[in-house]
Amino acid sequence: MHNSKLKGMVGMVSKPDALIKAAETVRDAGYKKWDCHTPYPVHGLDDAMGLKESFLPFIVLGVGLLGGVGALLVQTYMNVWDYPVIIGGKDMFSWPAFVPIIFELFVLSAGFTIFGCLFAFGGFGKWAHPLHDADLMKRVTCDEFAVVLDAKDEMFNEENAKGLLERAGCFDVQPLHEKNECTESSAGGDE
């Protein structure tokens, strides 16, 4: 452990009820930069962590509507204004015929927005996250829950963090270091 950069403090919990209790304890202690890691979404954890509901629907609806309006404009530009063709004796601006593609492009742009938002806010694309270096975290994607206090939080210091997690009912409380410091644990992971 030479000049190891401390990234945070991890503690494990094995039951969802205990996780809720631990999350409430950390929330009430006033931590801001911390997170719970779970193998599947746990109901009621957002409240216990003091998180607001996801804002995704507003972004998705907004971009979806833009996509729909865009589809109407593109179709009108191409078939009514740039190269007008009479089809079946209909009006030039026969908008009902444009509805299917308006709908499809609404869905398509909304779909891309969801996927993009998951990269921006939903935890996709975090290949280089320091948590991946901790062997402890491997249990999270199987059947255990972790509470992680980030070292960037203003309240964070090693002693307090450890005490808080233990008080919150976590076991295996460990400091989180970057990979090259944890020689012992990283050796076990590879062949």
Applying the rule CB under 8 A, the residues between 157 and 186 that interact with another protein are: 171-172, 185
Q: Is 151 one of the binding residues for another protein (CB under 8 A)?
A: no
Distance CA 74, CA 81 (A): 10
Nearer to another protein, 35 or 181 (CB): 35
Distance CA 116, CA 121 (A): 9
Considering only 3, 89, 142, 154, the residue that binds another protein (CB under 8 A) is: 142
Considering only 5, 32, 69, 123, the residue that binds another protein (CB under 8 A) is: 123
Q: Could you tell me which stretch among 2-10, 113-121, 150-158, 175-183 binds another protein (CB under 8 A)? A: 113-121
Q: H-helix or E-strand containing 106?
A: helix 99-120
- Output the 3-class SS for 56-73: HHHHHHHHHHHHHHHHHH
Considering only 122, 153, 155, 162, the residue that binds another protein (CB under 8 A) is: 122
Question: Cβ of residue 146: shortest distance to another protein, in angstroms?
Answer: 8
The answer to whether 140 and 38 have CB atoms below 8 angstroms apart is yes
Distance CA 169, CA 11 (A): 9
Identify which of 38, 45, 50, 42 has the alpha carbon closest to the alpha carbon of residue 13.
38
Residues 19-38 that bind another protein (CB under 8 A): 19-20, 35-38
Q: Is 93 helix (H, G, I), strand (E, B) or coil?
A: coil
Residues 6+ apart with CB under 8 A from 70: 105, 109
Lookup result for tokens 């996780």? 19
Question: Cβ of residue 2: shortest distance to another protein, in angstroms?
Answer: 22
Nearer to another protein, 45 or 155 (CB): 45
Q: Could you tell me which stretch among 1-9, 109-117, 157-165, 175-183 binds another protein (CB under 8 A)? A: 109-117
Q: Could you tell me which stretch among 1-9, 15-23, 153-161, 175-183 binds another protein (CB under 8 A)? A: 15-23
Query: How many Cβ atoms from other residues are within 10 Å of residue 93's Cβ?
Result: 13
Question: Cβ of residue 89: shortest distance to another protein, in angstroms?
Answer: 11
Q: Is 62 one of the binding residues for another protein (CB under 8 A)?
A: no
